[in-house]
Amino acid sequence: MSLSDDLLKKLKKTYEPFSTIRLKVRGKELAFNTDGEGNPVQLFIGQLKENGNIKGERYSRKMVKDRDGKLIRDHWDRKGKSS
């Protein structure tokens, strides 16, 4: 499952550093963790369970920057199932 353009727009924003953000997009529950700069780096998408976990898919973000801090490469890798 690839990430939709609507979802990618939300994931390109910056949020509070070192936090977990929960959203609902197109009927799916989302939870993502942010790095020290507030960029989402780990994403869980699927259905919210009673214990607070999301059962569905897990994604990880790969960001490559040059020496000046300019973003060279940015993409999301599917890492498998989450429970």
Range of 65's domain?
A: 5-82
**What's the domain count of the chain?**
1
* pLDDT of amino acid 3: 85
Report the distance separating Cα 65 and Cα 68, nearest Å.
8
Count CB atoms within 10 A of the CB of residue 43.
24
CB count within 10 Å of CB 16 equals: 9
The two tokens of residue 1 are: 């499952």
Q: Model's pTM, two decimal places?
A: 0.86
Averaged over successive runs of 10 residues, the pLDDT of the chain (83 residues) comes to: 84 94 90 94 93 92 92 92 83
